[in-house]
Structure 1
Amino acid sequence: GGVGFTQYATAAYTDDILDNNVYYNVDYINDKYNGAANIGTDNKVKATLDVVKDIATESTLYGIETYEKFPTALEDHFGGSQRATVLAAAAGVATAIATANANAGLSGWYLSMYLHKEAWGRLGFFGYDLQDQCGATDVLSYQGDEGLPDELRGPNYPNYAM
């Protein structure tokens, strides 16, 4: 799975919506996890599956509800791909901010993709459904035949689209 071009284009095109979702997430994290989204390292939450599920789910549901309040934004973000990416980016950013753990952020990203598909039936057009359903297995795995065993894969493995 990869985040490639759609994420590359999405940041500029959907900036205010992505910002709104992240600001909501920061407030949610600070309220529920005692200021874990504030600057610093002593206040972070331990990166557990329950924390990832909680933050990514809350973030995604908030984003979905916000899109449904504004149907023109829902339709304007083409094919669902940009919607899926905005929701996933907000979930991933929020999870990483709360835990100070990049892999937890990736897990939040991919969980958001699954939740988005469950809510709206698809992630986007053409191959977007496929590529962003297979990414969760890449978060903490490696393939020894493609390099050193310590080369961990991330969201852009194996073919970053830029």
Structure 2
Amino acid sequence: GGVGFTQYATAAYTNDVLDDFTYYGYDYALNKFGDDGTAPNDLATATDLATEVTLNGMECYEDYPTLLEDHFGGSQRAGILAAASACTTGIATGNAQVALSAWYMSMYLHKEGWGR
């Protein structure tokens, strides 16, 4: 158990979902900013992309309860949402630091949306 196993198992159990959330974000970023790596390298971009991807993912989890149950524990769901947000932002900006900001923004959104 614990977070170690959760992170280890995430890739095997959630790959298609992570792909879907990331492709959604990629399409959103492509429509908004154009080619890969052309989005501004700033906090506003990270916030925009992370918010869009995270809220879309949370809506999907709520629309499909079996998906919510399959991704056991909040840490796994938070990890998937954050990874999709970071991947989207990294591709859009070409900047790993901005992608990391999107990761953290997604974690905050997850906490505010589903936190206890």
Q: What is the TM-score with the length of structure 1 in the denominator? A: 0.66
Matches of 1:111 and 1:74, distance apart in 2:
21
CA RMSD, Structure 1 to Structure 2 (Å): 1.6
**Contact 1:6/1:85 (<8 A) preserved:** no
- State how far apart, in whole Å, the 2-side matches of 1:11 and 1:76 are: 13
Give the length in aligned residue pairs. 114
Structure 1: where are the runs of 5+ without partners? Answer: 37-42, 123-162
| SS of structure 2 residue aligned to 1:87 | helix
Tell me, yes or no, if the aligned pair for 1:25 and 1:94 is still in contact at 8 Å: yes
How many angstroms does 1:9 deviate by?
Answer: 2.0
- Offset, 1:45: 1.5
Superposed displacement of residue 5, structure 1: 5.1
Aligned match for 2:70, one of 57, 72, 76? 76
Map of 1:80-99 to 2, 5 A cutoff?
Answer: 80-99=74-93
Against the structure 1 CA distance between its residues 119 and 13, is the aligned structure 2 distance closer, same or farther, given a 3 Å change threshold? same
The residue aligned with 1:148 is none
Larger RCO (CA within 8 A; separation ≥ 6): 2
Rg larger in structure: 1
What letter matches 2:13 in structure 1?
A: Y
Identity of aligned residues (%): 60
TM-score (norm 2): 0.91
More helix, by proportion: 2
Q: Distance in 2 between matches of 1:100 and 1:12?
A: 26
Alpha-carbon offset, residue 100 of structure 1: 0.6
1:1-162 map, 5 Å: 6-36=6-36, 43-122=37-116
Question: Which blocks of at least 5 consecutive residues in structure 2 are unaligned?
Answer: none
Taking a change above 3 Å as real, the CA distance of residues 45 and 4 of structure 1, as seen in their structure-2 partners, is farther
Whole-Å separation in 2 of the counterparts to 1:12 and 1:74: 16
